[in-house]
Chain A
Amino acid sequence: MASRAFFMRQVVPILFGIACLLAVVVAIELLIRLGAINRFIVPYPSEIAGSFKRIIVEEDVPARFLLTTGEALAASLMLTVVGISLGALLHRMHLLRLATETWIAAVASAPLVLMYPLFLVIFGRSALTIIMMGFVSALPPVILKTLEGLSTTRVVLINVGRSFKLTPSQLYWKILFPSALPTIFVGVRLGMIFALINIVGVEFLINFGGLGQLVNELAERYDLPGTYAAICFVILVSVVFFIVTERIERWLRPGT
C-alpha cells in the first residue's frame, strides 16, 4: 500500500512530465513536417536529437558544460551569501530598508547585461567578468525575497520565541531564518535563472568559452540542429541547479 502511494506521489508525476515533453516534441516534429513551422527556423527535433553526439564529440561540450556550470555555481554561491546577508541587514535596519528597497526593485528589472563593457574594463576578458555579471544581475531578487521572507514570519512564532526568552541571535537562527527559508529559496531560484541568463548571454557576447560561445559559434555556422542541441545543454544546467536547490531546501527545511 505504502509502495503504491510512493509510486503515485513520486514516480507518476515524473513519468507524466516526460510523456508531456515527448508529446510536445512529437507535435513540433509533425508541425514542421506539415509545413506549419518553417524548418529553416526550427529544425526537426529528430535532427536536434541526432546532433547531440556530434557536438559532444566535435565541440568539446563536456568542458564547456563544466565551465558554464562552474561560472553559474560561483555566481550562485556569491549571490546566496551576499543576497541573504543584505536582505537580513535591510530587515534589521528599517531606515536602510525604506531608503533602498524601491531602488533594489528597480535594479531587478534593469537590463544589466548591457553593462558588460564596463565589467570587461574592470575584470578583463575572463571568467571573472562573466561570474560578476551573473552575480550582480541576480542579486536583487535574492535580497528582496529574503527581506520578504523575514518580514512575513508569523508574529505568533516570534512571540513563542520571546516567551522562551530567546536571545536576538537565537530568535533569528531558530525561528526567523527557518520560517523565511521557503521564500528565500524562491529568491535564490529566481536569482539563479537571472545569473544563468546573464552568464550565457555574456559568454555569447564576449566569445569567451562555455555554452554561450558554443551557441554563438553554431548559430554563425548556421548549424541549426547543433545550436538547438547546445541550448538543450544550457537548459540542462538550469535543471541541475533546480534539482540541487530543491534538495538543499528540503534538507534545511523539512516538513513542508
Chain B
Amino acid sequence: MKNYTSSNEPTSATCPACGLLCDDLILNATGAESVKNGCAKSITFFEQSFQTDISASASLFGKPCDLNTAISAAADILRKSKQPLFAGLGTEVQGMRSLMRLAEKSNATLDHMHSESTVRNTLTMQNSGWLTTTLAEIKNRADVILAIGTDIVTSHPRFFEKLVWNTDSLFNKPTPEIIYLSVPAENTQAGIAPNGTSPTVIPADTASIPEIVNALNALLHHKKIKADTVAGVAISTLQAVADKLKSAQYAVVVWSAASLKFTHAELTVQSIVQLINTLNENSRAAGFPLNSGDGDTSINNTSTWLSGYPTRSRLVNGKPEYDTYHFSTKKQLDLCDALLWVSTFNPHSPPDIKTPTIVIGHPNTQLEHQPDVFIPVGIPGVDHAGLMFRVDSSITLPLKKLRDNHLPSLSDVISKIEASL
C-alpha cells in the first residue's frame, strides 16, 4: 500500500507525461494500478514520481551540500561563463519563465532536449505554414484518420480511447476509419475499432514516407503515375487512400516529427502539409502534429512570447537571436563553456562533457559522472503546481501539487541563482 498523495482521499490530477495532458485522472492513495483513467505512460510517470527520494540533497561533485551552497556554486559557474548552454529544458511554463530571465542575465543559448524533432515541424511552419486542428475537433468531427509513420499511442496512449472510439460526439459522426501508413502491423492494434473493424494498414519503410506522400499528392492533383507501385505500395492502394481523404467530412492527418528520422524530414512534413492544403480546396481536412514531451510545447511557447523566438535561441546582451542549426545542443556542446541541464519531469541524464556542468532536475537523475553542481527539484504536477501547454498548443492547463515535501521548485532555484549573479 503506497501512499500516493498527501491526503488519503482520491485526488484529481493533470498528467504531464504526454502531450494529451489528460486532466481526468484520479489518483488513489492505494497504488498505481488504481489510477483512474491512467494509461501506460501516466502510471509509469506517477509511480516513478512518487518513488523519488524527497530528501535528496544537492551536491557538489557528488558530495552532498546544502541548497544555498549549491546555488552559489551554480551562480559562480554562470558568472565565469561567457557562453553557457541551457539544455534539456524539461520543464513547464513557470520554470521556463525563470530560465528565460536567467538566460538574459547570463547570455545563454537555449535548446530543448527534443528540438531535433520539434524543429522539423517548426521549419515547415516557418516555410509554408499549415492547417491544423485540436483534440476536441478530432473527437467530434474526424471521420477519417491517417497516421503517417506513427502508431500515435506509443507517444500519446489515450488518443484512440479519448478521441476516436468515443460514443458521444456533437455531430453523430460515424466511427472513424483509421489508415496507418508506414507503421509496423504489430503496432496497429490500437486502431481496431471497438466493433472489431480493422484499420487499413499500408506497410512501408520509414525512409519511403517522402516518396509515398509525394505520390499521394500527385494523385490528389489528378496526375497520372506511370509506375504500378511506389516504394512497394500499389498505386491503387494509394488511390483508395486519396479517395477516402477526399470524401471525408473531416479528415485528420497525424504525424510525429520524432519518428521521421531522416535528413531534411522537414520537407516531408511540408509534403504532408501540402496534402492537407490540397484537400481543403474542396473538402475539410486538418493536420495534427504530435509532440515529444518533457514540456517541449510549453517551453517553446513561453520562449516565443517572451523573446519572439522558440528555442534554439540565444540572448546576447538582452537581444534574442535565433538559429535552428547553430544553436542546437549538439553544436553548442562543443562551443559552450558551461552547461546548465534541466529535466524535471523525468530523470534524463545530461550529456557527458568536460565543461562545468550544473544539473537541476528530477531527484532520481542518474549521474554517471558527477557534475559540478546537482540540485534536485520538485516534479511539476506532483511536488508543485505549474502550467502546461497541450500538444495542440491551444490549451494551457494547471498542474497540481499532489504531495508535501521540501523539494524546491525549478523556478525557486533559478530565481535564487539569478539573484546571486
Q: Do A and B come from one complex?
A: no
